Structure 1
Amino acid sequence: MHWRIVEAPHVDSLDHPDSWAYRGIAEVERRVALADRGLPDGAPTPDALRAAMADQRYQRRHRVVAVDDGLAADGAPSDGTPSDGGAPEVMQVLGHGLVICDTHDNLDLAFVHVAVHPDHRGRGIGPALADVVVDRARAEGRTRLMAEVEFGAEPAADAPDAVVAPTGNGRISGDLPGLHLAGSAGLDLKMIARRSVLDLPAADDVLTRLEQEARAAAGSEYRLHVWHDDIPDEWLAGYAALIERLTIDEPNPGLDLEPEHWDAERLRFEIEQGRSVGHQFVTTCVEHEPTGELVAATLLDHDPQHPAYSEQETTVVMPEHRGHRLGLLVKCVNLREHARRWPGVERIWTWNNEDNPYMLAINIAMGFRPAGGSALLEADLADVRSVSG
């Protein structure tokens, strides 16, 4: 069986014949999630892939796919060299590569991602895709490269292949294909993020106790707002300021990242992007009544196309309002609202940097348990090496 790498055609609708690429990428990600993490949770839908490519005002994206071609365009067996020609109408996607370049922040950085269908690993597809996405990052004029390798379980501390993050917090198995590929290209491990899961329904007695404790600590100056699927226009700027604050305060030891600028327009764009592919959410925010400002928030995102799980997103408290247990309060209230709206959801996933002990402690208290994570790797693009031979 032969393969080659082609541009992933963009289409405006999944009814288009060329939607084979987005459908194929989604299937590769689903199979990778099953093989590497044990569940398909988190794999993107074809429509989410399409929507992300359709409007690139905040992120430029390049997608390539490795396809089962049988023969290369000239009739000879393919050697995996990227083709200048278009792909046939329908092709089997064996793997894919992605480059993401922010257009407003971190203008020197490119994020790259490579995934290969588990049944087709070991055939040189991953290295070939890696070289292509690195070349695309160079063509964008970027000077730094970042990649992420997800895993389903942290190895034991005494495991012979355990690799400890430079910060000393978090471990990953050194024999993972993605970690080996990134290391061969010259990327260095910088930090590890923990993936945690909360099995639902949450323990009601625990949730009640934590919420009562948080309300007592918060006192009388704070008012809660709970919103579904949208944020009122008058609160957009305040909510955007909270997201921006998170990019300033979230510990990312070892990573050279600038804070992101968020405003009402960017937040509205994100909401509409999610809505366009059917995502729903509940968010709980805290208003500081003496000033009328939003000072804390959290959000749970739910995709009805994946009814078994939801994702815990942004949880943030403004620095001058920390110490009142507002982070715990919004998470407890939002979790109850989530249960009322989607009682059939079986689990909630969340991510935290291993170097964020405060938020990890809140999640553990609520019943979240470790369930793998991701390694963040980075390198100067000038130091990145070809890996396809």
Structure 2
Amino acid sequence: MSTALAIEQLALPASADGPDAADLIALTELNNAICREDADLADLDFTPAEMLSGLRDDADRAHRAYVIREGGRLVGACILNYGLAEPTAVDFDLMVLAADRGHGVEDALLARIEEETRSLGRTVMQAWTLHRGRTSGPTIVPATDWGVVERTPLSDQFLTNGFVLEQVERNSTFDLRGPVDTVQHRLDESLAAAGPDYRLVEWTIPTPPELREGYAWALSRMSTDAPSAALEIDEEKWDAGRVERREKRILDGGQTMSVSAVLHVPTGRLAAFNELVIGTEPDDVTHQYSTLVLREHRGHRLGMLVKCANILRWRGIAPRSPKISTFNAEENRPMLDINEAIGFAPVSYAGVWQKKLV
């Protein structure tokens, strides 16, 4: 690698719109351009404020952003993340536009991330690739045999460097501008099926103090109960403090989040939840963060219940948002069945990659 392709760690600015925010803005623009180029969608854009709040939040997860410049222009970047209490894996996003590939940028960044992973004593690297909704060339099937993605320069780079495509995620969207009669009908059916042992509770963050510990427990179960193929996922540790820190990051990024959850009345614990998030602009795309029915409460139509309840609630919170975007593992047929019954339609895909360091 020549000196012109030296890797720098990005220094975080004091604010997303301050005089020292040029690099952060360039990183955000590169991230958004990658999503548009690879998935052919503008749905996955970040704002600089959202990017900054995520990178700055290091209480529970560490974040490092590395960049490469050529002639003063940012031509490649990589964001590395890892849980401070979870010892196994590092995950990262590798960002190089097609026009800047083939000059060593992507190889230098990937080598740096592997070096950092080893220096941290971690043994697993995990990353994602984005793919368009329709395939027109050679494809790859994941180790799960669920789903398929088209080969891209980034997927070829991962294959060459010893990564395995472990899982395919489907990106689906729901049109919020149309009628919601079906959603209301599905909610009514789900409430009847759940019965008196389950009660719907809803809030806009920050989470009420009396619900934080229960919400923390439910969030921790995402690492153990969501389909994860052969990915090495450490069990996450959550408490009320971690919930508060997470919500501060979301709010600091100018975002609004609604939570619909189900309380199991006999135990007083949350049994399921769904999260919807929007940025500062009222016409922004809505993103679903997490949806989970805890394993011991499955079979009571709680997934349908929380998703439909939150969609109906969301119409009053973000009436101008055009659609909801969500990702689900292709092997997660129960959740995909719910999505399809409500009216979600697939628009793009993501590949989840893993490399074990030995």
Question: TM-score scaled to structure 2, two decimals?
Answer: 0.93
Q: From the superposition, tell whether residues 278 and 16 of structure 1 become closer, same or farther in structure 2 (CA, over 3 Å).
A: closer
TM alignment of 1:120-159, pairs within 5 A: 120-155=100-135
Q: CA deviation at 1:318?
A: 2.7
Structure 1 stretch 30-39 or stretch 7-16: which is displaced more? Answer: 7-16
Structure 1 runs of 4+ with >4 Å offset: none
> What one-letter code is carried by the residue in structure 1 that aligns with 2:261?
C
2:93 is aligned with 1:113: yes
Match 1:93 to one of 74, 78, 84:
74
TM alignment of 1:29-44, pairs within 5 A: 29-44=31-46
Looking at structure 2, the residues matched to 141 and 215 of structure 1 have their Cα atoms a distance apart, in angstroms, of: 48
Asked if 2 retains the 8 angstrom alpha-carbon contact of 1:242 and 1:296, the reply is yes
> What one-letter code is carried by the residue in structure 2 that aligns with 1:100?
N
2:257 equivalent in structure 1: 281
Structure 1 stretch 239-248 or stretch 12-21: which is displaced more? Answer: 12-21
Asked if 1 retains the 8 angstrom alpha-carbon contact of 2:164 and 2:354, the reply is yes
Structure 2 residues without counterparts, runs of 5 or longer: none
Asked if 2 retains the 8 angstrom alpha-carbon contact of 1:99 and 1:137, the reply is no
Q: CA deviation at 1:365?
A: 0.5
Find the residue that maps to 1:134 and give its secondary structure.
helix
Q: From the superposition, tell whether residues 334 and 22 of structure 1 become closer, same or farther in structure 2 (CA, over 3 Å).
A: same
Q: Give CA deviations for 1:319-355 in whole Å, capped at 9, x if unaligned.
A: 3332221111111111011111111111111111111
Asked if 1 retains the 8 angstrom alpha-carbon contact of 2:82 and 2:89, the reply is yes
1:184 equivalent in structure 2: 160
1:379 equivalent in structure 2: 355
2:138 is aligned with 1:161: yes
Looking at structure 1, the residues matched to 134 and 121 of structure 2 have their Cα atoms a distance apart, in angstroms, of: 36
1:214 equivalent in structure 2: 190
1:298 equivalent in structure 2: 274
Asked if 1 retains the 8 angstrom alpha-carbon contact of 2:56 and 2:63, the reply is no
TM alignment of 1:226-245, pairs within 5 A: 226-245=202-221
2:238 is aligned with 1:258: no
Name the larger-Rg structure.
1
Looking at structure 1, the residues matched to 31 and 282 of structure 2 have their Cα atoms a distance apart, in angstroms, of: 14
2:13 equivalent in structure 1: 11
Looking at structure 2, the residues matched to 62 and 253 of structure 1 have their Cα atoms a distance apart, in angstroms, of: 27
Asked if 2 retains the 8 angstrom alpha-carbon contact of 1:112 and 1:134, the reply is no
2:268 is aligned with 1:268: no
Q: From the superposition, tell whether residues 301 and 161 of structure 1 become closer, same or farther in structure 2 (CA, over 3 Å).
A: same
1:246 equivalent in structure 2: 222
Q: From the superposition, tell whether residues 160 and 114 of structure 1 become closer, same or farther in structure 2 (CA, over 3 Å).
A: closer
2:311 equivalent in structure 1: 335
Find the residue that maps to 1:18 and give its secondary structure.
coil
Find the residue that maps to 2:82 and give its secondary structure.
strand
Q: CA deviation at 1:170?
A: 0.7
Asked if 2 retains the 8 angstrom alpha-carbon contact of 1:12 and 1:54, the reply is no
Find the residue that maps to 2:241 and give its secondary structure.
helix
Structure 1 stretch 232-241 or stretch 30-39: which is displaced more? Answer: 30-39
Q: From the superposition, tell whether residues 123 and 8 of structure 1 become closer, same or farther in structure 2 (CA, over 3 Å).
A: same
Structure 1 stretch 339-348 or stretch 2-11: which is displaced more? Answer: 2-11
Looking at structure 2, the residues matched to 305 and 178 of structure 1 have their Cα atoms a distance apart, in angstroms, of: 32
> What one-letter code is carried by the residue in structure 1 that aligns with 2:119?
A
Asked if 1 retains the 8 angstrom alpha-carbon contact of 2:53 and 2:249, the reply is yes
Asked if 2 retains the 8 angstrom alpha-carbon contact of 1:352 and 1:359, the reply is yes
Q: CA deviation at 1:39?
A: 2.1
Find the residue that maps to 1:371 and give its secondary structure.
strand
Structure 1 stretch 18-27 or stretch 34-43: which is displaced more? Answer: 34-43
Question: TM-score scaled to structure 1, two decimals?
Answer: 0.86
Identity rate, percent: 28
Looking at structure 2, the residues matched to 34 and 265 of structure 1 have their Cα atoms a distance apart, in angstroms, of: 36
Structure 1 residues without counterparts, runs of 5 or longer: 70-90, 383-389
Q: From the superposition, tell whether residues 145 and 306 of structure 1 become closer, same or farther in structure 2 (CA, over 3 Å).
A: farther
1:55 equivalent in structure 2: 57
Q: CA deviation at 1:37?
A: 1.5
Q: CA deviation at 1:202?
A: 4.4
Q: Give CA deviations for 1:227-274 in whole Å, capped at 9, x if unaligned.
A: 112210110010111111222111111112122121111111100110
Q: CA deviation at 1:160?
A: 5.7
